[in-house]
Amino acid sequence: MARWQSELHPSALARRVTFALYIALIAGLLLLPWPPPLIPAIGGLLLLLLIELRYRLRLQRSLHGQLTADESRYWHWRQQKARVTRPPFVLPFGILLSLRTQQGKRLSLWLMRDSMNEASWRALRRLLKGQR
């Protein structure tokens, strides 16, 4: 029996925040005065940052599926069963769940408010408030 479950879809807010942070970092690097011998290295660094941004945005787009919390306080995500390792970090727009699977793998899930419907968001916050 599930205590809570929701079908998660990619968060538009998370994508915008990621994009804004990377663009600010790239703009900051471009605005710094660099000595001429370092300009090719900075070009390479900027290229790596753009590749990393593309990877992060693609990864965020692929994160969807059903997340479930059961009666025994296990969380199920993508055929993995995990337990909460530390209290959830709760913000008005998102919740960070730190989990450890039965195989010992760590999972950090940012559950953004816009990645689920409003009823699921409220139920999740009530559930986590009761677990603290």
Condensed to tens digits (0 to 9), the pLDDT of residues 64-107 reads: 999 999 988 899 999 999 999 999 999 999 999 999 999 999 99
Q: How many residues does the chain have?
A: 132
CA 128 remoteness from chain centre: 18
d(CA 42, CA 117): 43
Distance from C-alpha of 73 to C-alpha of 19, rounded to nearest angstrom:
34
66 φ/ψ angles, rounded to the nearest 5 degrees: -95, 130
Tell which wins on pLDDT, 54 or 131. 54
Reduced to 3 states, what is the DSSP secondary structure of residue 58? helix
pLDDT digit string, tens, across residues 29-38: 999 999 999 9
Asked if residues 53 and 22 have their Cβ atoms less than 8 Å apart, the reply is yes
Q: Which residue has the tokens 């900027």?
A: 46
The span from the CA of 55 to the CA of 59, in Å, is 6
Per-residue pLDDT tens digits for 95-122: 999 999 999 999 999 999 999 999 999 9
Query: CB atoms < 10 A from the CB of 97, how many?
Result: 23
Q: Which tokens is 84 given?
A: 């909460």
